[in-house]
Structure 1
Amino acid sequence: MNSLAAFALATLVLVAVPGPNLIYILTRSVQDGGRAGIVSALGVETGTLVHVLVAVCGLAAFVTDHPIVFAVLRHAGAGYLAYLGVGALRRPPSAVAAGDADAPPDRRRPIRVYRDAVLVNLLNPKVVLFFLAFLPQFLPAGLTPADTRSHMLVLGAVFLAIALAFDLCYALVGAALAGRLRGTPRRERRLSYVTGGIHLGLAALVLV
């Protein structure tokens, strides 16, 4: 088995295990619908793309070599997840659930959903450590610096494609569950509590 096939298999195994990104996408899709889940998947993997580029350019080592930078990123990521969690807990039932089917849609929401997903991934320094440790394991020996960067880009693209496929599947699963979990103010309130609790739990996980 060549290194690329081994990398794809390892990525498939790793991504198949539900982690913070998949849980975030699932909860977002359940609470806000399939479109929000898909937008969240695209946002999360945009953050992954940035992490890959950081690793390829050698900037990931800067984060790991400076504990203060790592700590700032970690607390910023936890703080942002906590902010989203509190927002979910305080969120009122949707206008549709409250009986106002003619309420106008919020056209800015997809942009906010995308931004939130990008920041949730981007502000997680553990992802920086992951790519810094994971990608080099599948590089052939004896590569020049330029070839190393090229191979890491290819590996990053493979990881991104596999991760996005799983993200979209979770978004669709969340959309399928949304109809059963939403629909009335009481259900929406309970779902907000669950979503807020999950976000707060993910915030605590980032700090561990």
Structure 2
Amino acid sequence: MTLAALLAFAGTTLLLVLTPGLDSMLVIRHSVAGGIRAGLATIAGTLAGTALWAAASVAGLTALLTASPVAYDAVRIGGAGYLIWMGVSALYKSFRAGKSTVDDAADQPLRPLRALRRGIVTNVLNPKVGVFFISLLPQFLPTTGNNTGWAALLVGIHLGLCAAWYPVLAVVGDRARTILRQARFRRILDRVTAGVLVGLGLKLALQSG
């Protein structure tokens, strides 16, 4: 593998990491809901889930998942159901908070352990993460010899870029807490997030392998 290939992979991955997506949305929302600790816990969960898919890709398990429509659809539908459930829950809580004189979200901030679990589950139940690795990595790997070490290096670059960018989003979410945790803004944030989650869940459910 050449330096040019490494730089090309890093550049491609950086663009993908900077593009707003489900992970970045979760990091910001959890940072608003639970502060910087919840945001960092979400990042840890996201990285752990991504690392699991990366390890599966390197081991060839993702290729098997891609080749088996039944297995792929099972993971896909499970992930879609989880996203829709989170979206509907957020929507329900936003209307419930609107009928109450007490800001329940402020009284019960998101705990880091829960944020960690959400980050892991959201990624593990999204087969598109695995397909991303199995489709992208081979384009930057040597065509001869044992590629396991190089694949691990590319995965490390990807995780490193995520680990460098997501804390920035966590800080932004944490700094915006004073405004966004006000009842009015919190309801808006919850409803926008709910719409995005349900939309992503439906999109994942309707997509074919």
Per the shorter chain, which TM-score range?
A: 0.7 to 0.9
Alignment of 1:1-208 (within 5 A): 1-91=3-93, 93=97, 98=102, 109-144=111-146, 148-184=147-183, 186-207=184-205, 208=207
TM-score (norm 1): 0.85
Please say if residues 53 and 130 of structure 2, whose CA atoms lie closer than 8 Å, have aligned partners that are also in contact: yes
1: CA distance, partners of 2:103 / 2:161: 40
Comparing both structures, which one devotes a greater share of its residues to helix? 2
Deviates more, 1:189-198 or 1:164-173: 189-198
Amino acid corresponding to residue 162 of structure 1 in structure 2: L
Query: Structure 1, residues 64-89: CA drift from partner, whole Å, max 9, x if none?
Result: 01001110111100111111112212
TM-score (norm 2): 0.85
SS in 1 for 2:176: helix
Please say if residues 31 and 192 of structure 1, whose CA atoms lie closer than 8 Å, have aligned partners that are also in contact: no
Q: Which runs of 5+ in 1 are unaligned?
A: none
Relative distance call for 1:68 and 1:99 in structure 2 (3 A) is closer
SS in 2 for 1:152: helix
Q: Which runs of 5+ in 2 are unaligned?
A: none
What is the alpha-carbon root mean square deviation over aligned residues?
2.4
2: CA distance, partners of 1:32 / 1:57: 36
Please say if residues 31 and 191 of structure 1, whose CA atoms lie closer than 8 Å, have aligned partners that are also in contact: no
2: CA distance, partners of 1:201 / 1:26: 18
Amino acid corresponding to residue 182 of structure 2 in structure 1: G
1: CA distance, partners of 2:84 / 2:144: 45
